[in-house]
């Protein structure tokens, strides 16, 4: 079978273009947090705001931002935020245990906190472990990274979106911020 | 020509903005003006010393040794509460990092739409509904955040403080979410101590006709303050909200934070959870000082801050960050004062 001379080159060009486009559309695959940090560059950040509908207790909105649409399934994201909200609700619960802790601490002029950890601090440690585990299992393989809200004054959950440095794709989102971390 | 990198570990409190002073390597946090706090300490310690020196020996012998013992416990409790109030973080909210500030700016721009040239943009307010009550969240131009409900910016300490009550010069610190209960216990136990000393002064005078120093006026002001804060706690209000009349009842505005039950309100404020500090004062930042070891004429040391939180980028893209001058509401407020 013979092709006209130019067809083969056109075929190669089109197939290369298709491959390039496909590479751009596939989000980067990272296998772990280390790989993410070494081979990716920060493209964008999304900030999940606080939900004040129930008062001043710590609770985050489960609204799904459009920038995350192509990166992670809505259900996974909502699960993470709901679990975090449950942790914070547990920490701030006003009930028998918090009264006991408060009264005992008051009786000792709050000196007991020099040797004992408060309930809130214990829950914060659980939260930190949970976020680390979520990052390793779910978010890092998708090129995302959650920052613990305590590092942002418990105002926002910061989700960093990474792009693979090696890919030829452009960075996602029109509002790319120039604050890239130097690693 | 080689560059020598010297890493010096710096704690985060050294880099915190705001007008606080820190002691004991970031463990203690106070306002800048501490003069009145020293006066408070002097008054309390001075009065109690006089009481212990001149009256307790007589009272212990002629009435009961339990009297000075109880006074000692009360005195140590008062000092502990005072120091706890003065030295702890009142609930300072850290300022937004550049990316967060830009993100918020973009959200505001999107919400305001296109403002015609020459017109001031509308005030930066976010409405949230809390327990069926609309609460307006104001934007803080200094901290570049929308203040959470009940937070306020203290101009003396130059920080936004969560559940801001007031800035107390007597304790040398702001009173906010984290140290309000210690402040309340301080005023309450100080009232008790003052009443206790006053009572035994009178007893001593009656028993011995002995001239004594009585802090009469201090008694009434401290007792009055305790009474005022008891009233605020029972309604779950802050001094700031009371002064501004936020929940005074006009326009059918009610306090959305109150449980409508005095006991529940008291329990929440006094026996609620112990909130952690979100200001990481004792965390480490890294400052790398690079000095070229060559014989170049002008070695310029470059300090590059690579902390765990990102620092200001040299040129941030995005809309120019607005100031109160470009905001309609604050401009109107300014015009009114002139």
Q: In this predicted model, what pLDDT tens digit does every residue of A10-44 receive, in sequence order?
A: 556 555 655 555 545 555 566 666 666 667 788 88
Residue-wise pLDDT for A126-150, tens only, equals: 999 999 999 999 999 889 999 999 9
d(CA B131, CA B133): 6
Helix (H, G, I), strand (E, B) or coil at B146: strand
Q: Which residue of A has its CA nearest to B309?
A: A151
Distance CA A102, CA B50 (A): 33
B166-168 and B133-140: which strand pairing?
A: unpaired
The answer to whether residue B157 is catalytic is no
Window 130-169 of A: residues touching B by CB (8 A cutoff) are 150-156, 158
A133, A157, A129, A152: which is closest to A59 by C-alpha? A157
Interface of A with B in 34-93 (CB under 8 A): 45-47, 50, 52-56, 91-93
CA–CA dist B279, B160 (Å, integer): 12
* Chain B residue nearest residue A96, CA to CA: B271
The pLDDT value given to residue A21: 52
Task: Report the distance separating Cα B263 and Cα B198, nearest Å.
Answer: 30
Q: pLDDT digits over A36-78, tens only?
A: 666 778 888 899 999 998 888 999 999 998 888 888 899 999 9
A105 contacts in chain B (CB < 8 Å): 274
A158 strand-pairing partners: A47, A147
Structure tokens at B329: 């509401």
Facing B103 at nearest CB: one of A47, A56, A105: A47
DSSP, res A111: G
Inform me whether the C-beta atom of residue A95 falls under 8 Å from chain B C-beta atoms. no
- The Cα–Cα gap between B283 and B290 comes to 23
The answer to whether the beta carbons of residues A134 and A146 sit under 8 Å apart is yes
The answer to whether residues A142 and B82 touch, using CB atoms and an 8 Å cutoff, is no
Q: What is the pLDDT of residue A11?
A: 57
The ipTM estimated for the assembled molecules is 0.76
Give mean pLDDT, residues A112-129. Answer: 91
The closest alpha carbon to A68, from A43, A51, A88, belongs to A43
pLDDT of residue A28: 59
> 3-state class of B237 per DSSP?
coil
- pLDDT-derived band at A114, boundaries 50, 70, 90: confident
Residue listed under structure tokens 């015009």: B335
- Whether residues A177 and B102 touch (CB distance < 8 A) is answered with yes
Give the pLDDT score at A60: 94
Low-confidence ranges of chain B (pLDDT < 70): 1-7, 114-117, 209-215, 286-338
Using DSSP, how many helices (H) and how many strands (E) does chain B show? 9, 13
Q: Which residues of B touch A182 (CB under 8 A)?
A: 304, 306
B168 sits in which H/E element: strand B166-168
From B48, B56, B157, B168, the catalytic residue: B168
Contact B160, B143 (CB under 8 A): yes
In degrees and rounded to multiples of 5, residue B125 shows phi and psi of -135, 140
> For residue B132, what is the DSSP state?
T
The Cα B146–Cα B84 span in angstroms is 29
**Residues B34 and B41 sit within 8 Å (Cβ to Cβ):** no
Q: Residues B265, B234: contact at Cβ < 8 Å? A: yes
Task: Decide if A150 and B278 are in contact by the 8 Å CB cutoff.
Answer: yes
B274: nearest CB among A46, A54, A120: A120
- Measured at the alpha carbon of residue B89, what is the angle toward residues B83 and B94, in degrees to the nearest 5? 165
Q: Which residues contact A161 (CB under 8 A, 6 or more apart)?
A: A42, A43, A44, A45, A46, A67, A68, A71, A143, A144, A172, A173
B131-174 confidence digits (pLDDT tens): 888 888 999 999 999 999 999 999 999 999 999 999 999 999 99
Q: What integer pLDDT is reported at residue A50 of this predicted model? A: 93
Strand order in the sheet with B92-93: B92-93, B159-161, B152-154
Reply yes or no on whether the pLDDT at A9 is more than 80. no
> Which residues of B are less than 8 Å from A106 in CB distance?
185
């Amino acid at each position: 079978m013979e092709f006209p001379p130019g067809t083969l080159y056109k075929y190669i060009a089109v197939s290369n273009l298709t491959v390039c486009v496909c590479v751009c559309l596939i989000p980067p695959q990272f296998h772990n947090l280390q790989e993410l940090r070494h081979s990716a560059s920060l493209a964008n950040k999304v900030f999940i705001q606080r939900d004040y509908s129930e008062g001043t207790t710590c609770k985050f909105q489960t609204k799904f931002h459009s920038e995350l649409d192509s990166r992670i399934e809505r259900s996974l994201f909502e699960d993470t935020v709901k679990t975090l909200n449950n942790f914070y609700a547990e920490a701030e619960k006003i009930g028998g245990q918090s009264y006991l802790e408060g009264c005992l601490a008051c009786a000792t002029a709050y000196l007991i906190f020099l040797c004992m950890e408060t309930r809130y601090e214990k829950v914060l440690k659980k939260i930190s472990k949970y976020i680390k585990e979520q990052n390793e299992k779910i978010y890092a393989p998708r090129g995302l990274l959650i920052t613990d809200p305590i590092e942002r004054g418990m105002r926002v959950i910061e989700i960093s979106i990474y792009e693979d440095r090696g890919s030829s794709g452009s960075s996602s989102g029109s509002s790319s911020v120039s604050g890239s971390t130097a690693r | 020509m080689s560059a020598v990198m010297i890493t010096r570990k710096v704690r985060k409190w050294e880099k915190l903005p705001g007008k606080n002073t820190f002691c004991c390597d970031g463990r203690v946090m106070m306002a800048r003006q501490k003069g009145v706090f020293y006066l408070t300490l002097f008054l309390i310690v001075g009065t109690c010393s006089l009481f212990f020196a001149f009256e307790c020996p007589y009272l212990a012998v002629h009435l009961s040794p339990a009297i000075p013992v109880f006074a000692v416990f009360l005195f140590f409790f008062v000092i502990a509460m005072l120091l706890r109030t003065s030295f702890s973080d009142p609930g300072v909210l850290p300022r937004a990092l550049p990316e967060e500030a830009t993100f918020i700016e973009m959200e505001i721009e999107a919400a305001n739409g296109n403002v015609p040239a020459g017109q001031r943009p509308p005030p930066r307010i976010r409405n949230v509904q809390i327990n069926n009550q609309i609460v307006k969240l104001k934007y803080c131009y200094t901290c570049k955040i929308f203040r959470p409900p009940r937070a306020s910016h203290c101009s003396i300490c130059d920080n936004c403080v969560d559940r801001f009550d007031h800035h107390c010069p007597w304790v040398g610190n702001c009173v906010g979410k984290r140290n309000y209960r210690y402040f309340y216990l301080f005023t309450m136990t100080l009232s008790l101590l003052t009443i206790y000393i006053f009572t035994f002064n009178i007893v001593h005078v009656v028993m011995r006709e002995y001239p004594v120093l009585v802090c009469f006026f201090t008694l009434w002001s401290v007792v009055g303050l305790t009474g005022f804060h008891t009233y605020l706690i029972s309604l779950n209000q802050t001094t700031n909200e009371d002064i501004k009349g936020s929940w005074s009842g006009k326009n059918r505005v009610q306090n959305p934070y109150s449980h409508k039950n005095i006991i529940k309100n008291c329990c929440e404020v006094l026996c609620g959870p112990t909130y952690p500090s979100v200001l990481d004062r004792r965390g480490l930042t890294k400052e790398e000082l690079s000095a070229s070891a060559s014989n170049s004429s002008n070695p310029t040391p470059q300090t590059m801050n690579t902390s765990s939180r990102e620092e200001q980028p040299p040129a941030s893209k995005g809309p120019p960050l607005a100031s109160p001058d470009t905001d309609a509401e604050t401009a109107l407020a300014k015009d009114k004062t002139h």
